[in-house]
Structure 1
Amino acid sequence: MTSWENDPAYPAVEQAFINADPLEQVGGPLDVRAVVAGIPAVAKDGFLIEQVPWGRFPEGVRVQESMERVRSGDAAAVDRALDMLGGLCANDMRAAVAPAVPFLLRIGADPQAHHRAAALAVVSAVARWRHHGVCTRADMLRPRYSGDERGFEVTGYLGNWSVEAARDAITADVDLLKDLLDDPEADIRVGTAYVLAAASGRAQVVRDALHERLDIEDDPTVRAGLVLAVAELARARQDTRALEWTRSCWSDRTRSPEVRVSAALGWMCLSDAPVPDALHAMLDSLATDETARVMGPLPWMRAIEGIDGDGLRRCLREMLHPDAPDSEDHWDPWS
C-alpha cells in the first residue's frame, strides 16, 4: 500500500507542478498526455500493462496493481479494483488512472469480461472533471475545466492534463467504441455513448455514429442517453447544427417523451436564449415521473441527483427556475 509518505511520485509532482511552472513539463515524463499517447498499440491490445510507467504519478503503483486484478478473471476482484480506480477519480487523483483508459476500454469491449459497464464508467470519470450536483444550463454538459483554465488535483498535478489524456485516448479508440453502440446490453450502449461524448476529436465520426444508433434504438433509456451525448459533444465545440437539431427534436410531437425531454435539456445547455413557452409547455406535459424513471439510470442524471432518481427534477428546477428556493432539493454530498 502506497501513501503520501513513501510514494516518491508525490514529491516529484510537488516539485514540478507546485514549486515550478507546470508548462516546463509539457511532453516530458510527467506529462500524462504524452505517456498515454505513447502506449504502443500492441501493449493496449495485449494488455501489457507492465509497459506503462505507472510509478511516475501519485498512486500509480496501486493503479497498476488494480489493473492486474481487472484482468484476473475473478469477478469480485475486478469489482474491487474498479471501485478503487473510481475512488481515485472521485478524490481528484486522475493522473495515474489516465494511462489505464485504453485498457479499460478494451475491458468494456470484451463480451467475456466482468463488470464491463463499470470499466466504461471509470473511463468517463477520468475524462470529466466536474462537481457532482452541477446542473445549470451553462455547466451541466461542460467539463469543469476547459480551454486555458487550470485545475489542480489534490496531489498538485495539473488536472487538465489528466482529463485531456483520457479524452485523447477515447478519440484514439473511437472505432472500437462505435461498435459498442450496437452491444446487446443496454447499459453498455449507455456507457459507450457517455464515453464517446467526451472524445476530444473525430467529432463528425462520433456524431454520425450516435445519430445512426438513435435511428434504430428501441430502449428508451438508451435513446435519451444518445440525445444527451450528441448535445454534450456539441457543447464542447459550440456546434450550431446540434442546437437546431435539439430544437427540432423537442418540438417534434412524433418523438418519444424521453427523447423530447432530453433534447430540451440539450437545447437549454447549448443556448443562452430565454426558454420558449412551447418548451415549458412540453416539459410540463412530458417530464413526468415515468420519464424521470426512464432517464434516472443515465450517468448525466446520476451525476446531479441528490437522492436516488431525482436527477431530472433537480435539473429542470435549476434550469427553468434558477432563482427559486432550493430547500426541497438541498443535499450535502459529504453527509
Structure 2
Amino acid sequence: MRDWRTDPTFAMCRALADGADPASFAGGAFDVRAVVAGIRSDARHGVLLDAVPWGNFPHGGDAREAVHLLRTGADSARTPTDVLGGLCANDSRAAAALAVPFLIPLAADAHHPHRAAALAVLSGPARARHHGVASRDELLLHRNDPRRHAPDGYDGYGVEVTGYPAGWSVAAARAAITAGAPVLLPLLGDSDPAVRMDAAYALATAADPDRTIRTAFATAFATGFAAGFAAERDAMVRAALLLAVAETARAHVQPSAVSWFRERWQDRTEAPEARLAAAIGWLCLTDEPAPEDLHRTVDSFATDERAHAMEVLPWMCAAAGAGEPGLLRCVRRMLHPEEPEPCDDPWGSSP
C-alpha cells in the first residue's frame, strides 16, 4: 500500500498540510480546474489519454485505468465505474473530475457498450458532499461557480479526505459538463428512461447563464425535447426533469420558477412521483412556509413503497441515509425538521 507521505501524487496535498497557500498552485499542473480546461477535444476521445497528468492527483492512476477500460469496451463496466464512483464516495474527487471530459463522448455514443455506465458516473465529482443531504437549504445547492477560479479553492466545500481543495474538483467537473452540454442535451430524448434521467442529473450541474439547459428540461417535460418526441410520459423521468429544473434554478431563483413549481405539485392530473418532485423543488426554491395543500399532497403520495421506487432517481438515492429512503428523508428534513434523525445502529434500541 502506498504511503501518502511519500507518494508523489500527494505532493500538493502534503504542501497544503504544511501550510502552503492554495493560490500558489492555481492555474498550474496540480490545479484540476486548469488541467481539465486544457484537455482538447481530441483528448476526450482518448487520443491524448496519457498526455493528462493523472499522476499529479491522488488516485490518478486508478482513474486513468478506469477510463481506459471503459473506452476500450472491456467486458464489464462495473469495475471501472465502481472505481470512479468509489473515489467520489470516499471524498477524493480530483482524479474523478479529470475523467469527466473522457466520459462525456462515451455517454453520447449510442453504439458504445458502456455508455449508460459512463453517463451514470460522470456527474459524481460535480456534487461534493451531497450524500445524505436532504434539507431545504442544502438539497440541490451548488456553492461554487464553475466559471470562477476561487483562489482558495474551497467555496464552502472545504477539503477532500486527501487534503485537496474540494471546490477545485467540483468546479472542474462542472466546467467539463458545461462544455459538454451540447453533446449531453440530446440524451434527454433517448429511448432509455434511465439514460434520460441520468442525462438530466448530469446536465443539472452545468452552468446555465442563458437558461438553455433549464429550458430544455422544461421543454422535455411539457412538450417533448425535440420534434418527433411526444411529451415525456414516464413518471420517474418527469420527476427527474422537475428536480433538474429546480437544481438549475437554485443559482438565481426567480418568482416565476417558484410559481411554476407550485402549479406542478397542485396539478391533480400529474403523476404522484412528479408532484412529489415538484413539491421538493418548490421547498428548495423558497423559504415560504409549506402550505397545507402541499402537506396534504406529500402525506397522500409519500408512501414507503413509492419512496423505495423513487430511489431510481439519482437525487433521491443520494439523499438517502441511515436506512431511510431519500424521499422520506427529504420529507422529514423539509417538513418535519424537529423529528430526530433515524438510527441505523442495530444496538441503538437495546435497553
1:178 to 174, 185, 199: 185
Give the % identical residues. Answer: 48
Cross-structure match for 1:83: 82
Cross-structure match for 1:297: 312
1:234 has 2:260 as partner: no
Give the secondary-structure state (helix, strand or coil) at the position aligned to 2:94: coil
With the length of structure 2 as denominator, give the TM-score of the two structures.
0.87
Contact 1:17 1:157 in 2 (8 A): no
Deviations 1:40-86 (A, max 9, x none): 1122135431221111111112211221111222232x321111111
Give the secondary-structure state (helix, strand or coil) at the position aligned to 1:181: helix
Q: Distance in 2 between matches of 1:201 and 1:253?
A: 31
Deviations 1:268-313 (A, max 9, x none): 1111111101111222223334543542210111112237782212
After alignment, is 102-111 or 4-13 more displaced?
Answer: 4-13
Cross-structure match for 2:40: 40
Contact 1:220 1:294 in 2 (8 A): no
Distance verdict in 2 for CA 1:102–1:59, change over 3 Å: same
Distance verdict in 2 for CA 1:104–1:203, change over 3 Å: farther
Q: What one-letter code is carried by the residue in structure 2 that aligns with 1:194?
A: Y
1:208 has 2:246 as partner: no
Number of corresponding residues? 329
Cross-structure match for 2:344: 331
1:7 has 2:20 as partner: no
Q: Which aligned pairs between 1:154-173 and structure 2 lie closer than 5 A? A: 154-173=161-180
After alignment, is 297-306 or 199-208 more displaced?
Answer: 199-208
**1:164 shift after superposition:** 0.3
Contact 1:47 1:103 in 2 (8 A): no
Q: What one-letter code is carried by the residue in structure 2 that aligns with 1:9?
A: T
1:262 to 277, 290, 302: 277
Distance verdict in 2 for CA 1:217–1:17, change over 3 Å: farther
Deviations 1:178-207 (A, max 9, x none): 111111111111101000111123551101
Q: What one-letter code is carried by the residue in structure 2 that aligns with 1:178?
A: L
With the length of structure 1 as denominator, give the TM-score of the two structures.
0.91
Q: Distance in 1 between matches of 2:210 and 2:83?
A: 31
Distance verdict in 2 for CA 1:200–1:14, change over 3 Å: farther
Contact 1:3 1:59 in 2 (8 A): no
Give the secondary-structure state (helix, strand or coil) at the position aligned to 1:82: helix
**1:169 shift after superposition:** 0.5
Q: What one-letter code is carried by the residue in structure 1 that aligns with 2:22?
A: P
Give the secondary-structure state (helix, strand or coil) at the position aligned to 2:132: coil
After alignment, is 263-272 or 123-132 more displaced?
Answer: 123-132
After alignment, is 104-113 or 274-283 more displaced?
Answer: 104-113
Contact 1:257 1:291 in 2 (8 A): no
1:287 has 2:294 as partner: no
Cross-structure match for 1:66: 66
Cross-structure match for 1:271: 286
Deviations 1:77-101 (A, max 9, x none): x321111111111111111111110
Q: Distance in 2 between matches of 1:17 and 1:116?
A: 38
Runs (4+) off by over 3 Å: 145-148, 288-291, 306-309
Cross-structure match for 1:193: 200
Contact 2:11 2:56 in 1 (8 A): no
Q: Distance in 2 between matches of 1:150 and 1:133?
A: 15
Give the secondary-structure state (helix, strand or coil) at the position aligned to 2:319: coil
Contact 1:73 1:114 in 2 (8 A): yes
Where structure 2 has 5 or more consecutive residues not aligned to the other structure, the ranges are: 146-154, 223-230, 346-351
Cross-structure match for 1:49: 49
After alignment, is 149-158 or 185-194 more displaced?
Answer: 149-158
Contact 2:57 2:95 in 1 (8 A): yes
Contact 2:12 2:164 in 1 (8 A): no
**1:211 shift after superposition:** 1.0
Cross-structure match for 1:106: 105
Q: What one-letter code is carried by the residue in structure 2 that aligns with 1:193?
A: A
Distance verdict in 2 for CA 1:3–1:59, change over 3 Å: farther
Q: Distance in 1 between matches of 2:66 and 2:305?
A: 39
Cross-structure match for 1:218: 233
Cross-structure match for 2:26: 26
**1:116 shift after superposition:** 2.7
Q: Distance in 2 between matches of 1:203 and 1:97?
A: 28
Give the secondary-structure state (helix, strand or coil) at the position aligned to 2:296: helix
Provide the aligned C-alpha RMSD in A. Answer: 2.2
Where structure 1 has 5 or more consecutive residues not aligned to the other structure, the ranges are: none
**1:6 shift after superposition:** 5.2
Contact 1:258 1:294 in 2 (8 A): no
**1:321 shift after superposition:** 0.8
After alignment, is 21-30 or 32-41 more displaced?
Answer: 21-30
